[in-house]
Structure 1
Amino acid sequence: MILLVDDKQENLYSLKTLLQLHAYDADTAASGEEALKKILRNDYALVILDVQMPGMDGYEVAETITGYSKTKNIPIIFLSAVNIDKRFIAKGYASGGVDYITKPFDPDLLLLKVKTFCKLYEQTKALKTMQETLKEEIEIRKQTQKALEEANLRLEDKVEERTKALSQANKELETSNAELQQYASVASHDLQEPLRKIITFTGVVREKFLAGHSEAEPYMKKVASAAERMRSLINDLLNYSKLSSAVHFKPANLNQILNETLSDLELSIHEKGAKVTVEELPSAEVIPGQIRQVFQNIISNSLKFSKINTSPEIKIWSDLTASKSFDAPANSKGKYLRIYIRDNGIGFNEQFLGKVFTLFQRLHGRSEYEGTGIGLAIVKKIIEKHNGLVTAKTKEGEGATFIVLLPLQQSLVSAQPILHR
C-alpha cells in the first residue's frame, strides 16, 4: 500500500486515481499528523509526501518517519510545486527522502519511480524475512550442537569449531541485513549499487547456507530473477526519463517479456479468475522495458473492463505482414509484426477509438470503473517511439482486440511506406 500525504483533497484524489489505475493500493492523509498516526498502524511500501502543509511540513514528517525504528526504511518521495529551489531539494534528501519531484510532473515517470521503489521495498522486506528465518535456523543448530557436546565429549573440538563458524555466519547475515536496510534511503540514480549487493548476497546465501535445501532454492531463484529484472527496469527508467535523448533498440525475446508481465500481473489474474492463452511470439528489435509496459497496460485493461459474473478470457497471438498496415494479408516472410490481444470484456463503440488513446480520456464514469485514462495513451506513445502503430477492433458487449504493429528491425522503418487506414 502507498500513503499519499497532501493538505489539498484535489491533489490526493488525482494521485490516488492515477495509482489505482495501475493496480496500486493507495491510502491518503490530509496532514502530517494524520500521516504519522496511519504509518504507525499500517504497513506502507512507499510514502508520497507534499512539502508545504499547515502544521507539520513535509520535512518534519519525513524526519519523524525515519526516526521510528518501525518505519525508518520506508522510501519517501517528496512532491512539491513551490519549494523547487536546490536548497529545498537538498533539505528533502537530508530529511530522509529518496527522491524529490517538482510539479508539474510527468505521470509516466512518477509511475515508473513508484514501481521501482515499491519493488525494491518488497524485495528488501522479503530478504529480511529470509534472513530472520536463517538466523532462527542457526540458533536451532547451535542448540543441537550443544546437546551433542554434552552427549559425547570426544566431539567437543568439532562442536566448538562448528559453533564458531555458525557465529561468524550469523554476524555476516546481520551485516547484510544492516546494509539492506539502507537501500530504501538511496535516490533512483544510485540504485544500481545496492541492487548489485542484493544479487551478490543472494548468491552467497544460496551457496553457503542453502546447499541441500531444495525447498528454499526456488524462492532464492525468484529473488535473483526479480533483482535482475529490477536492474533492467532501472536502466529502462533512466532511458525513458531522457525524452530528448536517442532511444536504443535491441533484439529481444518477446515471449520472455510477456511472461514477465504475466508474472507481475499474477495476483490480478488470479483474483479475476482469468484465463490467458499465449501463442509463440517472434523476437524483434525493441526497448524491452517499454514493450513490457505496453503488455501490462493492455492486459490490465482487459482484466479491468471485464463483464460482471464472467471470467475474463484473454488470447495473445501474432502474425507477420510485408506492409505497415493493420489490414494487409499475413506473410510469413514479412518485416512487420502484428501482435493481437483479444478479450471477452465489455468492449466499446468503435466511433470512440481515437478517444481511448488520448491522454486522460475516459469512456466510462469513475463510479463504474476506476482510472484516469492514461494507460492506453502511454501505449500509443511507446508504440510511436518504436515507429509502429496501435489500434483496436471492438463492439459494445463483445470484447475488444488490440492490435500492435511493430517493425521487426528498426532499420527497415524508412524503407517502408505507411499504409494504415
Structure 2
Amino acid sequence: MVLIVDDIKANIIALKKTLELHDIDVDTAESGEEALKKILKTDYCLIIMDVQMPGLDGFEVVKILSGNKRTKDIPVIFLSALNIEKKYIFKGYETGAVEYITKPVDSDLLMLKVKTFLKLYEQQRELKGIKELLSKEIIIRKEAQDNLEIKIAERTKELVLKNEELEMKNHELQQFSWVVSHDLNEPIRKIQIFIKIIKELYLADDAKAVDYVNRTIKSAERMQTLITDLLAYSRLSSQVKPEVTDLNVVLQEVLSDFDYLIERKNATIKSNELPTIDSIPSQLRQVFQNLIGNALKFSGNSQHPLIEITSELISNKSFESPTSPEGKFCRITVKDNGIGFDEIYLDRIFIIFQSLNDRQSYEGTGIGLAIAKKIIEKHNGLITAKSQVGKGASFIIILPLKYE
C-alpha cells in the first residue's frame, strides 16, 4: 500500500485517483503527525510526501522515520511546488528520501518511479521469504536422521540457487531504479531552469525566448531517448542498432548539460578531435556524462577543476597499444586534477553500489562507473583508470571504430 501525505486535500484526491487508475492501493494523511500515527500501525511499501506542511514538515517526518529500525527502509518520494531550490533538493536526499520531484509533476514519469519501487518492494519481500525458508531448511537438516540428510541437502542447494538468482534480479531492479531517479535528474533540471527563465523574463515573442524554448525541447527529447534506452538496457534485452556517431557531437551535448555546474565551479574543459565510430550514441553519452560528472564532483576545494579529453588511434585492443594512423581502435582518456583515489581499489570502483568516498561529502549512488563499464564492454571495448590520492584520475577507454 502507498501512503500519500499532503496538507492540501485537492492534491491528495488528484494523486490518489492517478494511483488507483493503475490498481494501486492508497492510504492518505493530511499532516505529518497523522502520517506518523498511521505508519506505526500499517506497513507501507512507499510514501509520497509533500515537503511544505504545517506542524511537522516532510523533512522532519522522514528524519523521524530514518531513526526507527522498522521504518528506516521505507522509500520516500518528496513532492514540492515551493521548495525547488537545490539546497532543498539536497536536504531531501540527505534526510533519506529516494527521490525529490518538483511540481508540476509529470504523471507518467511519477508512475514509472512508483511502479519501480513497488516492484522492488515485492522482490525484497519474496527474497526475505526465501531466506526464511532457507533458514528453516537448514535447521531441519541439522535435526534430521542420516537417511534424510541427502534429500535435505539437495533441497537446500536448490533454495540457495533460487536465492542467488533472486538477489541478482533484485540488484538489477535497484540499478534500474537508481538510474531513473538519479541519472535523469540533470536533463529534467535543465528543462525546469529554461522554463523558469522564459516565464520570469520573457513575456513577448523575441529571439532569446525562442532560443530557450528550442533548447528546452532538445533537452526533453534527449531525456525521452535516455528513458527509452535505459529501460531497455535495464532489462538486458536492448538490441539497439548501432549508427555512425561523431563523438565530438556527443561530448558537446554532455558539456551543454553540465554548463551550469562548469560555470559554477569555474572549470576548464579541454578536448582534442575525437573520432567518428559505430556505436549506440545514447549509451556513449551516458559514459561521458558519468566520467565528466565524476570529475566535476570529485574536484576538491583547493583548485579549479581542469578536465582534459584526448583521443588517439591505436593498432590493437590494448591499453598499452602503440598509436597508428591506420589503427582500427581508438584510445580515449578523460583526465582530471581532482582528489583521485588509491589504485589498490581499482577493481572496486567499477562494481555496482561501491563508493570510495564519504557519501555525506560527495553525492552519488555508486552506480555510474558500473554502468560505464557495462556499456563499454557491450561495445566490445575496455575501460580502466590510473590515479593517485590527491593527484587526480585518468579514465582510459578503448573502443573499436567499427561496431561488431
SS in 1 for 2:299: coil
Alpha carbons of structure 1 residues 73 and 332: separation in structure 2 relative to 1, 3 Å: closer
Match of residue 359 from structure 1: 352
SS in 1 for 2:208: coil
Aligned partners of 2:219 and 2:245: how far apart in 1? 18
Alpha carbons of structure 1 residues 214 and 370: separation in structure 2 relative to 1, 3 Å: closer
CA shift for structure 1 position 255: 0.7
Aligned partners of 2:274 and 2:285: how far apart in 1? 14
Match of residue 294 from structure 2: 301
Aligned partners of 2:334 and 2:171: how far apart in 1? 34
Please report the TM-score for the alignment, with normalisation by the length of structure 1: 0.56
Alpha carbons of structure 1 residues 28 and 235: separation in structure 2 relative to 1, 3 Å: farther
Match of residue 39 from structure 1: 80
Please point out which of 106, 110, 129 is paired with 2:177: 110
Correspondence 1:338-357 to 2 at 5 A: 338-357=331-350
2:247 paired with 1:254: yes
SS in 2 for 1:379: helix
Alpha carbons of structure 1 residues 270 and 133: separation in structure 2 relative to 1, 3 Å: closer
2:258 paired with 1:217: no
Match of residue 329 from structure 1: 322
Q: CA RMSD in A?
A: 4.0
Return 5+ residue gaps in structure 1 as ranges: 9-25, 48-64, 85-101, 138-209, 412-421
CA shift for structure 1 position 368: 4.4
Any idea what the Cα deviations from partners look like across 1:353-376, whole Å, max 9, x if unmatched?
Answer: 112112222223335433332221
- Letter of the structure 2 residue corresponding to residue 229 of structure 1: R
Match of residue 386 from structure 1: 379
CA shift for structure 1 position 237: 3.0
Alpha carbons of structure 1 residues 116 and 370: separation in structure 2 relative to 1, 3 Å: closer
Please point out which of 268, 272, 290 is paired with 1:275: 268
* Matched residue count: 277
SS in 2 for 1:215: helix
Alpha carbons of structure 1 residues 261 and 111: separation in structure 2 relative to 1, 3 Å: farther
Aligned partners of 2:346 and 2:227: how far apart in 1? 33
CA shift for structure 1 position 262: 0.9
Alpha carbons of structure 1 residues 308 and 128: separation in structure 2 relative to 1, 3 Å: closer
Any idea what the Cα deviations from partners look like across 1:366-410, whole Å, max 9, x if unmatched?
Answer: 354333322211111111111110011222222111101111102
Match of residue 277 from structure 2: 284
Aligned partners of 1:258 and 1:37: how far apart in 2? 32
- Letter of the structure 2 residue corresponding to residue 374 of structure 1: I
Which is bigger in relative contact order (C-alpha 8 A, separation at least 6)? 1
- Letter of the structure 1 residue corresponding to residue 232 of structure 2: N
Return 5+ residue gaps in structure 2 as ranges: 6-34, 40-57, 66-75, 90-100, 124-168
Alpha carbons of structure 1 residues 365 and 39: separation in structure 2 relative to 1, 3 Å: closer
CA shift for structure 1 position 341: 0.5
SS in 2 for 1:216: helix
SS in 2 for 1:346: coil
CA shift for structure 1 position 337: 1.0
- Letter of the structure 1 residue corresponding to residue 397 of structure 2: V
CA shift for structure 1 position 125: 8.4
Alpha carbons of structure 1 residues 253 and 378: separation in structure 2 relative to 1, 3 Å: same
SS in 1 for 2:80: helix
Correspondence 1:170-181 to 2 at 5 A: none
SS in 2 for 1:397: coil
Match of residue 149 from structure 2: none
Instruction: Identify the range of structure 1 (266-275 vs 290-299) with the bigger mean alpha-carbon deviation.
Output: 266-275
Match of residue 27 from structure 2: none
Alpha carbons of structure 1 residues 111 and 72: separation in structure 2 relative to 1, 3 Å: closer
Instruction: Identify the range of structure 1 (108-117 vs 308-317) with the bigger mean alpha-carbon deviation.
Output: 108-117
CA shift for structure 1 position 274: 1.0
CA shift for structure 1 position 130: 4.5
Please report the TM-score for the alignment, with normalisation by the length of structure 2: 0.58
Match of residue 256 from structure 2: 263
Aligned partners of 1:364 and 1:357: how far apart in 2? 14
SS in 1 for 2:207: coil
Aligned partners of 1:241 and 1:381: how far apart in 2? 11
Aligned partners of 1:71 and 1:227: how far apart in 2? 15
Match of residue 237 from structure 2: 244
Correspondence 1:11-90 to 2 at 5 A: 30=62, 39=80, 41-43=82-84, 76=110, 77-78=113-114, 79-80=117-118, 81-82=120-121
2:357 paired with 1:372: no
Match of residue 203 from structure 1: none
Are 2:198 and 2:209, in contact at CA under 8 Å, matched by a contact in 1?
no
Match of residue 401 from structure 1: 394
- Letter of the structure 1 residue corresponding to residue 323 of structure 2: A
